[in-house]
């Protein structure tokens, strides 16, 4: 019984087009075919557990093999298999409808890169690397006949009686001339490592030699012998699929090392685990930030049911958390649509705010549980927290309770603690709190000393983000303004009662001031007499804070 037919498809010869445009990403054929094989395996397991299949399950695994001489790559499984009718339905109609859909999307998309790599072309992606694809399959159903199908990527196919003797499916790719690079052990191993490393069913790729105990030698020492064992390339049970309660710190650290060999240990991690209103699991790590802020972005890997999809998670993870590392797995993230659609997707939005909330909760827990340990990590996490407070309203609302302000004397304060600390001394006539800060403690040291002497505290705000951060909290905190320590702050504050009186008369003071004023000759600067004690600073020259900010803005290229 041999049958020929035509696949009903609207677009003739879509194959050359797909092949051309997907060329850079053609390795995803393996991801697609291996995940189909995994699906088929999971399905037979489910049928067995439902009592709808009573045969032996056997050793359920997927195998990838290649033959350099025959120029074939074969993906085999002992899953549920297909009957000839099912091939017609699932391969001729469904698989190829995936390809037509791809073409439609492709025509819509302005930028080909928007979809390439994200779109699961499914079974059809085999034609990116193969001139001809063959299926040999035997369905689990009682009395099923082995079936065979082949197609050369045109709309013509051939279907008939197959040769497979055991339940399951072989997909055989006759690799085309341009894709012979895939007929290579290291190449295939690399692709499998990338996409299949955490698939839920064991994936075998060749064998490896292992040493096995083999009795004792004449002197009674243990002997070993070499044995060939299956090379299983994946970890079927990665930590994000487990319950946090099953896991120890060590497990999280080992997994981190597995994902990012040679990295320093992370500061802490967050186990994501939610199934309503969307399904999402994962583990996010806070990496140790290097001093030079050389932190690589795009370190989060996105999976869908343990199949690696991409490490471009820009649209799923809030921008300020892009520096995190780890994995996210969600079957609810649409992968086959363009980026603009993704940004508008309601699941993606919910996932985004869920992650933000979890990160805020984790930081809050750490802060409450062990303040000292939290402060120790502050130099690493401060950047995330401040960036998050600037960019996400919801994060600000939580983080305002655990963000730390660091004084020039190295003490850390929460916003509330700091307010408490300085409100008595640093309030001006209008009852406004004035927070004094430095962005260059070395250069502004004399100003810091002089402020401290008057009983004022000076905050350290010298990280790259602090400029924006100061602006942000100034907007958020009521009746609070920030002044740089070299600005004209002091005289605006209510002075301490015990501040030493000047020994100069008012007239003498005016004279000294006039001398300095005319020497500087710039109206934006202000001269103030401090003290006549030879060990202290006699005069400070400050600049009006408003003028200073205007100047800074002008230097940055004007305007807001």
d(CA 478, CA 481): 9
Binding of ligand ADP by 36 (CB under 6 A): yes
For the bound state, the minimum distance from the C-beta of residue 171 to ligand ADP, rounded and expressed in Å, comes to: 6
Residue 79 contact among Mg ion, ligand ADP, none, beta carbon within 5 to 8 Å by kind: ligand ADP
Size of residue set near Mg ion by CB under 5 A: 2
Compute how many other C-beta atoms are within 10 angstroms of the C-beta atom of residue 54: 9
Binding of ligand ADP by 91 (CB under 6 A): yes
Tell me which DSSP letter residue 496 carries.
Answer: P
Tell me which DSSP letter residue 69 carries.
Answer: T
Cα 147 to its chain centre, rounded Å, is: 44
Exposed, middle or buried: residue 280 (CB in 10 Å: 0-12, 13-18, 19+)? buried
**Site mask, Mg ion, residues 92-131, x = CB under 5 A?**
------------------------------x---------
Size of residue set near ligand ADP by CB under 6 A: 16
Residue 434 contact among ligand ADP, Mg ion, none, beta carbon within 5 to 8 Å by kind: none
d(CA 467, CA 463): 8
d(CA 140, CA 319): 48
**Site mask, Mg ion, residues 464-503, x = CB under 5 A?**
----------------------------------------
Q: Which is nearer to ligand ADP, 37 or 321 (CB)?
A: 37
Residues at the annotated binding site?
32, 36, 77, 82, 97-98, 169, 339
Sign of CA dihedral 285, 286, 287, 288: negative
Q: 400 CB contacts (<8 Å, ≥6 apart)? A: 389, 415, 476
Residue 392 contact among Mg ion, ligand ADP, none, beta carbon within 5 to 8 Å by kind: none
For the bound state, the minimum distance from the C-beta of residue 21 to ligand ADP, rounded and expressed in Å, comes to: 18
Which residue in the shown chain puts its C-beta closest to ligand ADP? 122
Q: Tell me the CB-side half-sphere exposure of residue 120, using CA atoms within 13 A.
A: 22
**Site mask, ligand ADP, residues 346-385, x = CB under 6 A?**
----------------------------------------
For the bound state, the minimum distance from the C-beta of residue 91 to Mg ion, rounded and expressed in Å, comes to: 11
Binding of ligand ADP by 345 (CB under 6 A): no
Buried b (16+ CB within 10 A) or exposed e, 64-73: bebeeeebbb
d(CA 451, CA 75): 73
Candidate residues 123, 157, 285, 303; the one interacting with ligand ADP per rule CB under 6 A: 123
How is 226-294 classified by DSSP, letter by letter?
A: EEEEEEE---SS-GGGS-GGG--HHHHHHHHHHHSTTPPPPSEEEEEEE-SSS-EEEEEEEPPPPTT--
Q: Which is nearer to ligand ADP, 94 or 208 (CB)?
A: 94
d(CA 301, CA 89): 34
Residue 91 contact among ligand ADP, Mg ion, none, beta carbon within 5 to 8 Å by kind: ligand ADP
Residue 486 contact among Mg ion, ligand ADP, none, beta carbon within 5 to 8 Å by kind: none
Rounded to the nearest 10 degrees, the angle between the axes of helix 28-49 and helix 185-195 is 60
Select from 79-87, 506-514, 525-533, 550-558 the region that touches ligand ADP (CB under 6 A).
79-87
Binding of ligand ADP by 32 (CB under 6 A): yes
Tell me which DSSP letter residue 125 carries.
Answer: G
For the bound state, the minimum distance from the C-beta of residue 326 to ligand ADP, rounded and expressed in Å, comes to: 27
In contact, 341 and 379? CB cutoff 8 Å: no
Residues at the annotated binding site for ATP?
32, 36, 77, 82, 97-98, 169, 339
Positions touching ligand ADP (CB under 6 A) are 32, 36-37, 40, 77, 79-80, 82, 90-91, 94-95, 98, 122-123, 169
- Binding residues (CB under 5 A) for Mg ion: these are 36, 122
């Amino acid at each position: 019984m041999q049958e020929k037919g035509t696949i009903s498809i609207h677009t003739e010869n879509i194959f050359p087009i797909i092949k051309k445009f997907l060329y850079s990403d053609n390795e995803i054929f393996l991801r697609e075919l291996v995940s189909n094989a995994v699906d088929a395996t999971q399905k037979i397991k489910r049928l067995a557990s439902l009592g709808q299949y009573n045969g032996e399950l056997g050793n359920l695994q997927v195998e990838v093999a290649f033959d350099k001489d025959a120029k074939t790559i074969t993906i085999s499984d002992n899953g549920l298999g297909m009957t000839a009718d099912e091939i017609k339905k699932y391969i001729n109609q469904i698989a190829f409808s995936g390809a037509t859909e791809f073409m439609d999307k492709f025509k819509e998309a302005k930028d080909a890169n928007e979809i390439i790599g994200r779109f699961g072309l499914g079974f059809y992606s085999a034609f990116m690397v193969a001139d001809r694809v063959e299926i040999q399959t035997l369905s689990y159903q009682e009395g099923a006949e082995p079936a065979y199908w082949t197609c050369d990527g045109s709309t013509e196919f051939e279907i008939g009686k197959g040769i497979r003797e055991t339940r399951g499916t072989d997909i055989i790719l006759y690799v085309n001339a341009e894709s012979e690079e895939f007929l290579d052990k290291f190449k295939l191993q690399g692709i499998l490592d990338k996409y299949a490393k955490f698939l839920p069913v064991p994936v075998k790729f060749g064998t490896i030699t292992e040493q096995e105990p083999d009795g004792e030698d004449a002197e009674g020492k243990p002997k070993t012998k070499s044995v060939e064992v299956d090379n299983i390339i994946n970890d079927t049970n990665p930590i994000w699929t487990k319950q946090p309660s099953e896991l120890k710190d060590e497990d999280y650290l080992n997994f981190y090392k597995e994902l990012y060999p040679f990295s320093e240990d992370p500061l802490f991690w967050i186990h994501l685990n939610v199934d309503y209103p969307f399904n999402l699991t994962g583990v996010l790590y806070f990496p140790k930030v290097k001093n030079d802020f050389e932190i690589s972005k795009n370190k989060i890997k996105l999976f869908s049911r343990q199949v690696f999809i991409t490490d471009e998670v820009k649209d799923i993870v809030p921008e300020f958390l892009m520096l995190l590392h780890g994995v996210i797995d969600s079957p609810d993230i649409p992968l086959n649509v363009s980026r603009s659609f993704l940004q508008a997707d309601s699941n993606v939005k919910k996932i985004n705010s869920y992650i933000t909330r979890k990160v805020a909760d984790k930081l809050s827990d750490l802060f409450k549980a062990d303040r000292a340990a939290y402060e120790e990590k502050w130099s690493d996490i401060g950047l995330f927290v401040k960036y998050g407070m600037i960019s996400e309203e919801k994060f600000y609302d939580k983080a305002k309770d655990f963000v730390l302000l660091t004084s020039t004397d190295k003490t850390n304060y929460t916003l509330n603690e700091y307010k408490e600390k300085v409100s008595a001394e640093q309030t001006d006539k209008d009852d406004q709190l004035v927070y004094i800060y430095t962005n260059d403690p070395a250069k502004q040291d004399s100003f810091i000393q002089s402020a401290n002497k008057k009983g004022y505290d000076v905050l350290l705000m010298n990280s790259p983000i602090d400029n924006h951060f100061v602006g942000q909290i100034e907007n958020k905190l009521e009746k609070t303004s920030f002044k740089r320590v070299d600005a004209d702050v002091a005289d605006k504050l209510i002075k301490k009662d015990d501040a030493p009186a000047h020994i100069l008369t008012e007239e003498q003071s005016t004279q000294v001031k006039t001398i300095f004023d005319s020497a500087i000759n710039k109206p934006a600067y202000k001269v103030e007499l401090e003290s006549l004690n030879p060990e202290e600073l006699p005069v400070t020259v400050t600049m009006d804070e408003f003028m200073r900010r205007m100047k800074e803005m002008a230097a940055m290229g004007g305007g807001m």
